[in-house]
């Protein structure tokens, strides 16, 4: 694997300045220079949807998320047709469409998903 994809829950903790809630292992990974850390456009999309619906409070304006993501040293990955078609294959089957897309991005891009979501633990693409 050639890098890491940060799950939406990791990004939310970084945006809300609550990284102390993340494990030391995750914080070290994000802070390590030279590590290819990525964020899929799926995560800002999920944040925007949940924020607009009043289901999520974030400390940054949604419009500032691209700046924030690059400021913390992450590469923003666009969604491609390959990612969309790969959604049919991630296992274990998860009903969450955002998780399915993030796993598909990992499969297509050779990345490991960094997440705190216990429902995804043990998946071959999870770090």
- pLDDT the model gives residue 25: 87
**50-107 tens-digit pLDDT:** 999 999 999 889 999 999 999 988 999 999 999 999 988 766 667 888 999 999 999 9
- pLDDT the model gives residue 91: 66
Please check whether residue 42 is in contact with residue 5, taking contact to mean a CB–CB distance below 8 angstroms.
no
d(CA 75, CA 36) in angstroms, rounded, equals: 8
**10-38 tens-digit pLDDT:** 999 999 988 889 888 888 888 887 788 99
All residues at 6 or more sequence positions from 30 whose CB lies less than 8 Å from its CB, including other chains: 6, 10, 14, 19, 37, 72, 73, 114
Residue 97 CA from chain centroid, whole number: 13
- pLDDT the model gives residue 95: 81
- pLDDT the model gives residue 10: 93
d(CA 14, CA 40) in angstroms, rounded, equals: 15
């Amino acid at each position: 694997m050639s890098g890491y994809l940060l799950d939406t829950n990791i990004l939310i903790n970084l945006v809300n300045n609550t990284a102390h809630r993340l494990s030391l292992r995750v914080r070290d990974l994000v802070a390590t220079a030279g590590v290819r850390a990525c964020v899929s456009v799926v995560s800002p999309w999920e944040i925007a949807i949940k924020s607009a619906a009043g289901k999520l409070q974030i400390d940054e304006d949604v419009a500032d998320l691209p700046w924030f993501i690059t400021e913390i040293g992450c590469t923003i990955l666009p969604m491609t047709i390959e990612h969309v078609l790969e959604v049919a294959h991630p296992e274990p089957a998860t009903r969450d469409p955002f998780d399915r897309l993030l796993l598909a991005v990992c499969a297509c891009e050779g990345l490991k998903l960094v997440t705190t979501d216990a429902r995804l633990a043990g998946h071959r693409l999870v770090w």
